[in-house]
Structure 1
Amino acid sequence: MRTTISLIFLTFLALVTAETHTWHYTCNWVDGVNPDGVQERRMIGFNGTWPLPTLRVKKGDRVNLYLTNGFDDRNTSLHFHGMFQKGSSQMDGPEMVTQCPIPPGETMLYNFTVDDQVGSYWYHSHTSGQYGDGMRGVFIIDEPSEDDYPYDYDEEVVLTLNEHYHEESDDLMPKFLSRFNPTGAELIPQNILFNETRNATWKVEPNKTYLLRIINMGRFLSHYVWMEDHDMTIVEVDGIYVEKNTTDLIYITVAQRYTVLVTTKNSTDKNYAFMHRLDPDMLDTQPADLQLNGTNTIMYNEDLGEAESYDLTQDEIDSYFDDFYLVPLSKEKLYDDADYTVTVQVQMDNLGDGINYAFFNNITYTKPRVPTLLTVLSAGDDASNELVYGSNTNSFVLQKDDVVDIVVNNLDTGKHPFHLHGHVFQLIERHEAIEDGEGDPVAYNSSDHADWPEYPMMRDTVYLRPQSYMVLRFKADNPGVWFFHCHIEWHLDQGLAIQFIEDPSGIQNNETQQITDNHKEICEKVGVPWKGNAAGNDVHLLDLTGENVQYKRLPTGFTARGIVALVFSCVAGFAGLAAIAVYGMQDIPDVEERVARDLDVDLDEADDSGAEIVRQTSSTEGSSTHKHLG
């Protein structure tokens, strides 16, 4: 009884102390931005400024963010990366998954409660190309009070990592998704950024412990991060507290977050390098002018100037900390055996339009005509039938509270950081990389695999190694529609995504999940239906006529048209050879006279040796002419 009263009191106290944060932002272009100090370009900002603001809330707080689309030529959206959005799936943000895109001039209200989450997060547009163009910012969730933190520190610092392109996504995307880029080579940035700039300075005080939040908000590249003669103690990843683990080098993919403790030195007689390095293995080519390393300064003494670069050997780089061995502070045990296993195979290939796409199980994600969450809300009993969500959306229906395994087999030679919306998952197995040329891809074998940890590492973004596999496990305890995708934006644009429809009846029966009037208005203004199946059919829900589908595959053999073309080509070739043979073997009358005339030689006055010279010259000229034509 006393425990129940305590819980009621704590719940009441949380409600009383919770705040509501209301923000009004208009996204638009900001001209004259120069993050890397090399070239000006425009970036996407909020209310005419860039970078975007850091948003801070506390656990249990309410968020009301009004986003107005200030563009005049494109839609937009907003996703709070890592937020569970319990009971508010339509606030998750990916367009045509949980919401209609916001058209120019319209405003959408993102309102949700931060429920039982703390740590380092970020927010970004979930409309293609926009967060790479600058529509990204930090989102921090604090504990209700300082006493609630499981570690002590003196001061907090936020550090973001990124890469920077001098061209806008509108110019980059047609180059990437093009038949002239048949291998799907990712476009290479001009620079890497540290807190949205280069050559930054971090001013520190001696003998002080800093809480450093490191967030990779890039669209492509992983970074190695290290400090000269300083250690980092990892205390949180992706919003999950972990048992302290000290290292001198971390590897952070796009969308991942590491929170570390750094204690400064006692003296101020030297400034130290704070280094980050892009992962060159992710580049198909390496331009000569691309700097792999970024050098920043841990500034103890301004009179000493900036620190010099502190490079590591390749062997040191290869020994970065493996997050697989982190243990959640909660000591969350390995979940029970899976009730449902989703096995997917990653592959890159070309379709009939010549463009290189990304596939899960031979399907490249193709947006439906109705946002999937809105299909759930309007499909009635058919919401449990995966067919209503389309044949090209890679949709999986999950039952309430199921334990789900995602087995990802990688046939690709590249690395992939995969992110799951609405959840964190346990990483229970990750096979070593099989580098290109070192062997065939290795797939997961349920009857022959490594031992799984008792307390698996948990986070919302995990990287998959080349030509290998990983096994992820999570609980389907959050009704909603949740995207699972590679967070390399180039790969998402290629279609490397699936979606989970979790507990459809639970979504339908929850009042807070119902589509808002504001959302309906957004859909109507942008011309997207807010009910019906993936094809927009709200009468015959199993009829997908007119749905969006991927391009047809290239034929595996000759088509009828190709066979006809081949036959006619062969006929024409044989006819040409016959003509050459017939005419080439015929005698040409008066050949010597014709050659002599062409060379302006008088045969009547020439002696035998002269005639021989004419014949030799004729032979040489014929050989020369043959080479030229060849």
Structure 2
Amino acid sequence: MWRLGLSLLAAMVLLFFGYSTAKTVTYDFNVTWVTANPDGLTERKVIGVNNQWPLPIIEVEKGDQLVVNMHNGLGDKNASIHFHGMYQNGTNEMDGPIMVTQCPIPPGADFVYNFTVNQNGTYWYHCHADYCYPDGYRQALIVHDTESYFYDQYEEEFTVTMSDWYHELVEGIAPDFLSVYNPTGAEPIPQAFLFNDTLNSNIMVKPNTTYLIRLINIGAFVAQYFYIEDHTFTIVEIDGIYTEPTEADTLYLAIAQRYAILLTTKNTTDKNYPIVTVADSALLDGIPSDLKLNQTNWLQYNADADHPQAVMTVDDATQLNPFDDITLIPHDRMPLLPEPDYTLELSVNMENLGNGAGYALLNNISYTAAKVPTIFSVMSSGDLSTNSLVYGEFTHPLVLEHNDVVQVILNNNDGGSHPFHLHGHAFQVIDRAPAYGATFYDYADGDPVPYDEANHTAFPQYPARRDTFVLPPQGYFVIRFVADNPGVWMFHCHIDWHLSQGLGLLFIEAPTQMQERLNIPQNHYDVCKAGGIPTEGNAAANTEDYLDLKGQNKQVGWLPAGFTARGIVALVFSCVSAVVGIIFLVVYGLSDLKFKGEGADGAAETSEVAGKGAGKTTVAEASRESSNEEIK
């Protein structure tokens, strides 16, 4: 009995100690436009916080309450914050994607994000509104953990972000990307690649010392390789999941992926060593002559020593041999989940739809947001919340039962890779083909190879877990997770261009439990009211009949049979050229009549008008304007 009493006392002490050390960490964010020139080539507008850019790193400890008071001071753009990798267990309304778990925060409005951080590791935050975070609205979020198994093995830690960078605002790039003039869906090529939002920087280190380095790809499009010349390191975390210590020398970080590594420095100060990041050029449709794919920053042992440029030892980055993340074993050795209760098989396709532009589809659905944020449809639909029809056809909603084991088979019919992210969960990665390294892009030139349930390699006993995983070109991956977190969770490609094309879907997880457990703050409803967005009804905002989707937002319709991307462009330009030609003939004919009727003065006037027109509108511009009017 006395032992039981001591145990209870100890438990109470630990519980009290845990509560007493947890704290509330508050950040006040006034999101504003500022100017920056991170690559030294072009000054441009970027989205800053409190009139500063780069944005502040959010730092908390496991168990803390994180509060971010956000004011949208942009003036001309909606915004939000997604805390990437945060499970938001019990606080689905704080997840951040607009028209999914909240309304867009309109200019001038305030919004409060408030949740408990019950996990640890390396994360980041970014805007989750349309075409937003590539303009600079992204930064690291670090959850420190004094109880990690490697906490006493390092002296100091650093955070390294890598990103692609555009010289033009995304709102200026986007119309030409999702356009009939870009039928292949070629992604806009960045103008630079940044390292901690700058170039040519140093990480200062001491000899014979171990450091924890957190690596995050906060870009919008391009994956990057990472290595340090003449150094190896030990992987201890991926996407917030501690791993068994595993030695490596090269990593591949797709958009949104994170690693934490332990690096022990050499016992010398004679040299400084290049930290090398290399853009994955296989993702680019072309490589401009002025685009520098390989960046050198330095592990600086001695400020007075030489800072050499990296020398690539291979002709192409795809020849690098990065560590294969699927082989990592979680430190907690969580076993393979049991056979799934629910299996979802999906195929990725990139297609031209009826307006001639290129779109992305999962099982022939291009994600299109509803008229009511889906979380509000759950909360207002009563007993119908378990009926997927409530959430619309084109949000691609999939209703999951509470605590189901879910298996997702994702087949890629596209020749490009796609880093898929699941909100609200980390998932087990149980199969993938092909592997990283030289074979990773081999499938791109052949036929797609889908997953075969009857013929696959044995699943690992302790599968790697993460929240963002790369779908190989024309290959596949298989993941599993437990639907133990009631909420509306996006599953989408994290290349921002692909998400804008519709490459995503929604898991409506345990909607009955959502209704019982969620308590959405009044502030969230106020923001919806300020933006004129309804907070009740189905996907079509119908509150009378939740199964009537008349008026729902729809994806662009299908092309008529027989049309191809090349045919679309040929047809458009043929039609436009014909129209321009007719207009030219009419104008020329009328001007000739005017000349004959008015004499030399009329000729001079006509010549002046024609000269102004020629300086104002080229054939290409006229073609574009004519086509845009037709699309509208």
TM-score (norm 1): 0.86
- Structure 1 range deviating more: 428-437 or 94-103: 428-437
Match of 2:142 in 1: 140
> Is the 8 Å Cα contact of residues 444 and 474 (structure 2) preserved in structure 1?
no
| 2:43 corresponds to 1:28 | no
1:183 Cα shift?
0.1
Match of 1:276 in 2: 277
Question: Pick from 495, 502, 507: which aligns with 1:495?
Answer: 502
> Is the 8 Å Cα contact of residues 434 and 442 (structure 1) preserved in structure 2?
no
SS in 2 for 1:426: strand
1:308 Cα shift?
2.2
> Is the 8 Å Cα contact of residues 228 and 310 (structure 1) preserved in structure 2?
no
| 2:374 corresponds to 1:401 | no
Match of 2:554 in 1: 549
1:6 Cα shift?
4.6
Match of 1:293 in 2: 294
Structure 1 4/439 Cα, relative in aligned 2: closer, same or farther at 3 Å?
farther
SS in 2 for 1:304: coil
Match of 2:64 in 1: 61
Match of 1:213 in 2: 214
| 2:22 corresponds to 1:18 | yes
| 1:212-231, Cα deviation, whole Å (9 max, x unpaired) | 00110000011010111111
> Is the 8 Å Cα contact of residues 61 and 113 (structure 1) preserved in structure 2?
yes
User: Aligned runs of 1:404-419 on 2, under 5 Å?
Assistant: 404-419=406-421
Match of 1:524 in 2: 529
| 2:83 corresponds to 1:76 | no
What is the CA–CA distance in structure 2 between the aligned matches of 1:407 and 1:213, rounded to whole Å? 30
SS in 1 for 2:17: helix
SS in 1 for 2:153: coil
Match of 1:486 in 2: 493
| 1:241-288, Cα deviation, whole Å (9 max, x unpaired) | 000111111111110001001111111111111100000110111111
What is the CA–CA distance in structure 2 between the aligned matches of 1:247 and 1:147, rounded to whole Å? 20
User: Aligned runs of 1:306-321 on 2, under 5 Å?
Assistant: 306-314=307-315, 317-321=319-323
- Computing the radius of gyration from Cα coordinates, the structure with the larger value is 1
Match of 1:47 in 2: 50
What is the CA–CA distance in structure 2 between the aligned matches of 1:54 and 1:484, rounded to whole Å? 25
Structure 1 420/457 Cα, relative in aligned 2: closer, same or farther at 3 Å?
same
1:3 Cα shift?
5.8
- Structure 1 range deviating more: 490-499 or 196-205: 196-205
Instruction: Supply the RMSD in Å over aligned alpha carbons.
Output: 1.6
1:448 Cα shift?
1.4
Match of 1:538 in 2: 543
What is the CA–CA distance in structure 1 between the aligned matches of 2:229 and 2:442, rounded to whole Å? 30
| 1:463-507, Cα deviation, whole Å (9 max, x unpaired) | 010001100100001111100000000000000001101101110
- Structure 2 residue identity aligned to 1:475: V
SS in 2 for 1:181: coil
- Structure 1 residue identity aligned to 2:20: V
Match of 2:226 in 1: 225
What is the CA–CA distance in structure 2 between the aligned matches of 1:256 and 1:86, rounded to whole Å? 21
| 1:88-141, Cα deviation, whole Å (9 max, x unpaired) | 0000000001000101101000000012x1011110000122210001111110
Match of 1:259 in 2: 260
| 2:443 corresponds to 1:442 | no
Which 4+ runs in 1 deviate beyond 6 A? none
What is the CA–CA distance in structure 2 between the aligned matches of 1:18 and 1:522, rounded to whole Å? 30
Q: Which ranges of structure 1 fall in alignment gaps of 5 or more residues? A: 559-565, 567-630
What is the CA–CA distance in structure 2 between the aligned matches of 1:379 and 1:289, rounded to whole Å? 54
Match of 2:358 in 1: 356
> Is the 8 Å Cα contact of residues 434 and 441 (structure 1) preserved in structure 2?
no
1:439 Cα shift?
2.5
| 1:20-72, Cα deviation, whole Å (9 max, x unpaired) | 011211111102x1100111111100010000001111111101111111022
Match of 2:483 in 1: 476
User: Aligned runs of 1:541-620 on 2, under 5 Å?
Assistant: 541-556=546-561
Structure 1 314/174 Cα, relative in aligned 2: closer, same or farther at 3 Å?
same
What is the CA–CA distance in structure 1 between the aligned matches of 2:456 and 2:448, rounded to whole Å? 15
> Is the 8 Å Cα contact of residues 119 and 239 (structure 1) preserved in structure 2?
yes
SS in 2 for 1:163: strand
Structure 1 449/146 Cα, relative in aligned 2: closer, same or farther at 3 Å?
closer
Structure 1 342/306 Cα, relative in aligned 2: closer, same or farther at 3 Å?
same
Q: Percent identity?
A: 48
> Is the 8 Å Cα contact of residues 411 and 467 (structure 1) preserved in structure 2?
yes
1:550 Cα shift?
0.7
SS in 1 for 2:134: coil
SS in 1 for 2:477: strand
1:318 Cα shift?
3.3
- Structure 2 residue identity aligned to 1:46: V
What is the CA–CA distance in structure 2 between the aligned matches of 1:4 and 1:439, rounded to whole Å? 64
What is the CA–CA distance in structure 2 between the aligned matches of 1:339 and 1:318, rounded to whole Å? 39
Structure 1 315/106 Cα, relative in aligned 2: closer, same or farther at 3 Å?
closer
Structure 1 6/342 Cα, relative in aligned 2: closer, same or farther at 3 Å?
farther
> Is the 8 Å Cα contact of residues 57 and 142 (structure 1) preserved in structure 2?
yes
What is the CA–CA distance in structure 2 between the aligned matches of 1:482 and 1:6, rounded to whole Å? 39
> Is the 8 Å Cα contact of residues 296 and 307 (structure 1) preserved in structure 2?
no
Aligned length: 554
SS in 2 for 1:132: helix
